[in-house]
Structure 1
Amino acid sequence: MLEDRPGLIEAIRDRFAHVETCPFDGPRIFFENAGGALRLKSVIETSAAYAGYPDNQGRDNPASKALMAAIARGKVDMALFLNTPGGQVFTGESGSEVLFRLIRTAALGAMPGGVMLGSTLEHPASRSAMARWAEVTGRPHVLVAHDDATGTVGLGAYLERITPEVRVATIVQTSPVTGMAVDVAAITAAIRERAPEAFIIIDGIQHASHGHVDCAAYRADGYAVSPYKVFSRHGYGVGWASDRLTACTKEQILGGPEAAWELGTRDAGAYATFSDVVAYFDWLGGEVSDAATPRARIEAAAAAIHDHEARLMDAMLHGTGNLRGLAEMPGVTVIGGTGTEGREGVVSLTLEGLSSADLVQHLADQGIRVHIRKDDHYCGNILHPLGLADCVRVSVCHYNTTAEVARFLAAMELAVARRRARLPES
C-alpha cells in the first residue's frame, strides 16, 4: 500500500492541487474523484504557460517549432500510456466526443448489414453514439443486460449475444456509477473469435486513473480517455484508433494527411499536459519499483494504485480500526453489492430514511465532498432497474488515505444515528 512506504503518500499528495482544501469552500476531504480527479500542479503550470503562447503550429519560427515538438512528444507519451499496437493517438473535444467519433467511423466503415452490440452498463456517451449510428446505418442495436446484483456485465452475458453478425461492439471498462470493472480482454477475445472483422471500441474513461491500460492486450480498434479524470484538465479528450479503423473514411480536411484524426488546430497545451500525466506515472512507478523502462514504471505505478485503492475500498466497505464499514451499517445499501473484487474506486449507496440530497449535505457539513447521482440520462441505466430515484456516489483515488476513509465512516455513523432518530418506534 502506498501508505506503507515512509513519506510516499505525502509526496504524492504534494504533487496535486487542492488535496485538502477547496478554494471556494475551505477544508474538505475530496471523495468526488469519479466526477473529475484532482489536478497535478505540473498540469496547472503547463496549462498556464501554453495558454499564453501567441504563436501557431506549422510556422517557420522557434516558438512554432516548440509547439509542434510538444504535440509530437505528447503523442508519443499517449501511445506509451495506452500501450498502443500501432494506429493513431489524437485529441478531441472531450472523451465523449472521442467515443462518438470512433463509433461513427466504425459504423460507417464496417461491412454492410449485421448488428451493433453494446451493454446496458455503458455510459450514455457510447450508448447514445451506438444508438444514433445503428439507426443511421439500419442496424439493430443489441444490448447485453448487466447484472443488477453485481453492478457489472460478465463474459457469459456477452456470449449469449455475440454472433458473426456483429459489426461494431462497445465495451465500458468500468462503470462510473457502480465502480465495477469489466473483463475487457476476455470479451474482446470472444468477439474476435466469432466476429473477427468487427470493430471494437472501449470506453476507458472511468478506468484509466484506477488501473492498468493496455490497448495491445485488448485487441480492440478504439479507446477513449477523459484526461480530467486522469489528473489533467478539462477541454480535451484522448483517443486511440487502430490502423484498420484509421483506414476507414472519416471527416478530414480534403488533401490533408490520410491518417489524421484531428480537425483544425489543436491545443498544444493539451498534449503537453498529458505528457505531465505520463511523467507522473513514470515518477510513481520509479518510487514503488526498480523498473528500468518508462512503460514498466507506468505498469508498476498502475499496480500500486490498484492495490492502494483496493485497500481503501475494503476499509470503506468492511471497516478500519474500531470503525465498522458500510456493509455493517443498518439502512445502508451499496449498489452492486459489498464485494471489493473488481471494484475501482467507487461506492454508490443509499441510506434508508435519509434522502440522498440530505446525505450529501450531511457529509458536506462534516467536510467530505461527495456527489448525488440521479435516475436521469446519465445514470438511469443503473438506477432505474433498481427502483432508485437517486444515490450517493463516493469515489476515491490513490492520493486519498485510510485516515480520510475513517473520517468518512465516522460521518456515516452520525448519519445512521440521525436516520434512526427519525424512524418511528416499533
Structure 2
Amino acid sequence: MIEDRPGLMEAIRDRFAHVETCPFDGPRIFFENAGGALRLKSVIETSAAYAGYPDNQGRDNPASRTLMAAIDRGRADMRRFLNAPGGQVFVGESGTEVLFRLIRTAALGAAPGGVMLGSTLEHPASRSAMARWAEVTGRPHLLAAHDDATGTVSLDAYLALLTPEVRVATIVQTSPVTGMAVDVAAIAAAIRVKAPQAFIIIDGIQHASHGHIDCAAYGADGYAVSPYKVFSRHGYGVGWASDRLTDCTKEQIVGGPAAAWELGTRDAGAYATFSDVVAYFDWLGGQVSDAGEPRARIEAAAAAIHDHEARLMQAMLNGTGNARGLAEMPGVTLIGGPVVEGREGVVSLTLDGMSSAELVRHLADHGMRVHIRKDDHYCGNILHPLGLADCVRVSVCHYNTTAEVARFLAAMELAVSR
C-alpha cells in the first residue's frame, strides 16, 4: 500500500532523520530497527526546544502553563495511541522500568498466595521482574513454553498452566528476537475466564512501531512502550495501568494524588515528543485512508504499516525480482522458520561457515546496518534451546523499501558464496 502510492514513501522518509546515512559511518541501509527505530525530525526539534526551557511545572506563569498544556496533550495522545480511555497513562524512566513498576505493583496488590505466570518467549524486562517479585512474595513463577519451531508462544501453552490460582500474568506481544507476534487478546481472555481477578501485564515494546494497539480490547491491566522503538527518543518509557491496578498500593509521595504513578518532576519534553509520534501516525493514516477521526487514522496507519512490512518480509524471505530470498539460500537458518504471517519486521538468522560477528561485518562492509544477538541474559531464552551461541538480527520498519531489501539479498548472496 505504501509503495503503491506515488510519492508517499519519499514523504515518509523525509520525516525521519538519518534514513540513508549514518552521521558517523556514512551511507548505509538501516536494518537495525528492533534495536531502536529512526527518529522523527519533529522529535529531534521538540527535544531540543524542551531541553532549553528553564521553567518548571505548576507555577503561575505562561511558560509553566505551556509545559502543563504539553503534558496534558501528551497524555491525551498516549490514550488515543493505546486506545486506553480508562486507567492512567504515565511516563517512566524506560520501558523496562515501567514493566518492573507495573509488575511490582500487581504482585504486591494481588490476593495472597497463588502463582505468577509468564512465558519463555518474554524479554528479560518482564521475565526478570516477574522472577524478582515471585520470589519476594513467595509465589511460584510458572513459564508457558514457546515453540522453538514457530518462534512464538501459543494460547494452548498458556492454557496448560492456567488455573484459578494465577495472581499475575505477563504476555509479550512480539518477540524482539524471533519477530513473531503473540495473540495477546486470546490469551488475556483465557486468563480472565480461569482467573478473573488476575492482573495481566502486556509488554508491547517490540510491537508498538509495527501495528495496532488496543488496550480497551485486550482486557489487561498494564501495557508498556519504549518510545525510542517507536520513532521517539531514549530517556523515557510510556505506561498504562488500569483503574484497579492503579488502586493498588504503590510508591507515592505522602499526601499526593492517589492515582499518581509518576515520582518527581517528569520531563515535559517526553510527553511532547510522544505527541509528535502520535501526530505522525495521524498524518500517515490521513495519507492512506479517508478516516475522519484521529483514532481511526491511527488504525489506518497501523494497517498500512502492517501491510508494507509484510511485503518487505515476503521479499526478504521468498525473494523479489530476480533475487532469491533467505529461505532459498543454502546454509541460511531462519529462527522461527520462513513464515511471513505473524512476523513483525524481524528476521533472525545464521549462516553456515560464517560466524554471526563475521556476517554482521560483511553486511556492514556492503552498507547494511544489522545486529548480532547472543546467548546471553537478553536472548538466551531463544538461542540456548536452539543450541546457538548467537545469530544475526535483521529488522525492518515501514520506511524501508523493497529496493533496500533487494540490496540486502545481494549482499547475503555474496556471503553465501564465500
Q: Normalized against structure 2, the TM-score is what?
A: 1.00
| 1:186 to partner: Cα distance | 0.3
Partner SS state of residue 223, structure 1: strand
Aligned residue pairs total 418
In structure 2, the partner of 1:107 is 107
| Structure 2 CA distance for aligned equivalents of residues 145 and 102 of structure 1 | 23
RMSD after superposition: 0.3
Contact 1:77–1:275 (Cα < 8 Å) also in 2:
yes
1:393-423 per-residue CA deviation (whole Å, 9 max, x = no partner) reads 00000000000000000000000001xxxxx
In structure 1, the partner of 2:154 is 154
In structure 2, the partner of 1:340 is 340
Matched, 1:385 2:385: yes
Partner SS state of residue 238, structure 2: strand
In structure 1, the partner of 2:94 is 94
Q: How does 1:206-285 map to 2 (within 5 A)?
A: 206-285=206-285
Partner SS state of residue 174, structure 2: coil
| 1:16 to partner: Cα distance | 0.1
In structure 1, the partner of 2:309 is 309
In structure 2, the partner of 1:56 is 56
Matched, 1:349 2:349: yes
| 1:117 to partner: Cα distance | 0.1
Matched, 1:370 2:370: yes
Partner SS state of residue 205, structure 1: coil
| 1:384 to partner: Cα distance | 0.2
| Structure 2 CA distance for aligned equivalents of residues 121 and 326 of structure 1 | 24
| Structure 1 CA distance for aligned equivalents of residues 293 and 381 of structure 2 | 41
Matched, 1:300 2:297: no
| Structure 1 CA distance for aligned equivalents of residues 144 and 340 of structure 2 | 23
In structure 2, the partner of 1:401 is 401
| 1:352 to partner: Cα distance | 0.4
| Structure 2 CA distance for aligned equivalents of residues 230 and 92 of structure 1 | 16
| Structure 2 CA distance for aligned equivalents of residues 69 and 153 of structure 1 | 42
Letter in 2 for 1:186: A
Contact 1:85–1:242 (Cα < 8 Å) also in 2:
no
| Structure 1 CA distance for aligned equivalents of residues 284 and 134 of structure 2 | 42
Structure 1 residue runs of 5 or longer lacking an equivalent are: 419-426
Contact 1:28–1:369 (Cα < 8 Å) also in 2:
yes
| Structure 2 CA distance for aligned equivalents of residues 369 and 311 of structure 1 | 20
Partner SS state of residue 12, structure 1: helix
| Structure 2 CA distance for aligned equivalents of residues 4 and 80 of structure 1 | 28
| 1:310 to partner: Cα distance | 0.3
Partner SS state of residue 170, structure 2: strand
Runs of 4+ more than 4 Å apart: none
In structure 2, the partner of 1:130 is 130
| Structure 2 CA distance for aligned equivalents of residues 154 and 288 of structure 1 | 32
1:266-300 per-residue CA deviation (whole Å, 9 max, x = no partner) reads 00000000000000000000000000100000000
Structure 2 residue runs of 5 or longer lacking an equivalent are: none
| 1:85 to partner: Cα distance | 3.7
In structure 2, the partner of 1:175 is 175
Contact 1:88–1:246 (Cα < 8 Å) also in 2:
yes
Partner SS state of residue 201, structure 1: strand
Q: Normalized against structure 1, the TM-score is what?
A: 0.98
| Structure 2 CA distance for aligned equivalents of residues 159 and 281 of structure 1 | 35
Identity rate of aligned residues, in percent? 89
Letter in 1 for 2:162: I
Partner SS state of residue 330, structure 2: coil
| Structure 2 CA distance for aligned equivalents of residues 354 and 66 of structure 1 | 55
Partner SS state of residue 217, structure 1: helix
| Structure 2 CA distance for aligned equivalents of residues 85 and 301 of structure 1 | 20
1:53-82 per-residue CA deviation (whole Å, 9 max, x = no partner) reads 000001111000100000000000000000
| Structure 2 CA distance for aligned equivalents of residues 85 and 113 of structure 1 | 31
| Structure 2 CA distance for aligned equivalents of residues 256 and 42 of structure 1 | 34
